[in-house]
A = this chain, B = another copy of it.
């Protein structure tokens, strides 16, 4: 994309009430816009990153057999009365319909997916299966001060699985757990994200969170670096050593919960009477698992983890563009390179604007594409273009032909 065709520009004046680093830098770089506390629009650069994250999670969820659906934001209040959660969850937005009925904006979708699935399950032969969606959640948070990390309106992937017995649920749960690890590696959070034990509620000893370490985090996790396991502070009282390897040298870190997986058991199949007939003809409740990842939260966490003083350093697979091509009064030569990279399927942001070198460098660092390619009279005289990785300091001159090899 040519930057003269991009309507956003970098912004110097930030919203006064924005305290979080991730939202500040994303607003400055023109990735998002703030509509209200915890409510952000995605602009072209930000939407490209969000769509990359979305593509990756979709691939991973389809790889574990998830069937994609799209549930609704609006739900009749009755669904939430049925499970009792209208009273126990305090961040539910409520609203009145013109049909004199009361509605909520779903903060999560167990209450909606369970009665849906009931319509399609009668026999053990219908099980197991799983469905997922990538859909907007609404949570009326009192403290929405962490930018994309705690939104009141945000994009989430939620997967729900349905099983006839515990063994089958356990097996599938482990599959999803591995898919989650793969997802975090692909979006660039693998190193700093640990599987973390948390309170299992009434159905299992532990539930599992995925926690990414950053000072911007709101959680405290005790980490075993020996086996890369975390223990959430909420259960550490009972757990002074790593329950996996016995390591007593646990390190306290601030962290953002970037995903969680949970064996629900019959918690939601019971109120909605989601049951199946087994081979003997007996009715049993379906066992459920739920598996969530906040996509916009993951985007915010990546920004918190992957940046320096100049701006964002996007991991390759989710970057808005792979290459930021900067022309300093050499538009004809740069245009050739732009076209040849695009012909190879390489995504390029081409800064063809009439601006000085200092401004172009600063904006490229702020926006954070993995590779910067500079075309100037000086680089051409030196025999080519200047190539620089956003994450490194060194630059090198390469010919346009070699450039293509580097970027492959």
Give the B-binding residues of A (Cβ under 8 A): 5-9, 11, 30, 33, 35-37, 39-44, 47, 50, 65, 67-76, 91, 93-95, 97-99, 101, 103, 105, 112, 116-117, 119-121, 126, 129, 131, 136, 138, 140-142, 144, 152-153
Contact B39 A72 (CB under 8 A): yes
Q: Are A101 and B42 closer than 8 Å at their CB atoms? A: no
Counting every copy of the chain, the complex holds 2
Complex: chain B residue closest to A78, CB-CB: B36
| Most chain B CB within a 10 A radius of its CB, from A7, A136, A144, A153 | A7
Could you list some 7 contacts between A and B, CB below 8 A? A5-B67, A33-B119, A36-B103, A44-B68, A74-B152, A95-B95, A99-B144
Q: Is the CB of A9 within 8 A of B120?
A: yes
**A74 and B153 contact, Cβ closer than 8 Å, known pairs A47-B68, A98-B141, A142-B99:** yes
CB neighbours (8 Å) of A11 from chain B are 119
Main secondary structure of the interface of A (DSSP, over half): mixed
Which of chain B's residues have a CB closer than 8 A to the CB of A152?
A: 74, 97
Please name all residues of chain B whose beta carbon is closer than 8 Å to the beta carbon of A136 when the two chains form the complex.
Answer: 73, 136
B39 touches A74 (CB 8 A): yes
Q: Which residues of B contact A142 (CB under 8 A)?
A: 98-99
- Contact across chains for A7 and B98 when beta carbons are under 8 A apart: no
Q: Which of B67, B70, B101, B153 contacts A73 (CB 8 A)?
A: B153
Residue from A44, A67, A76, A138 whose CB has the most chain B CB atoms within 10 Å: A67
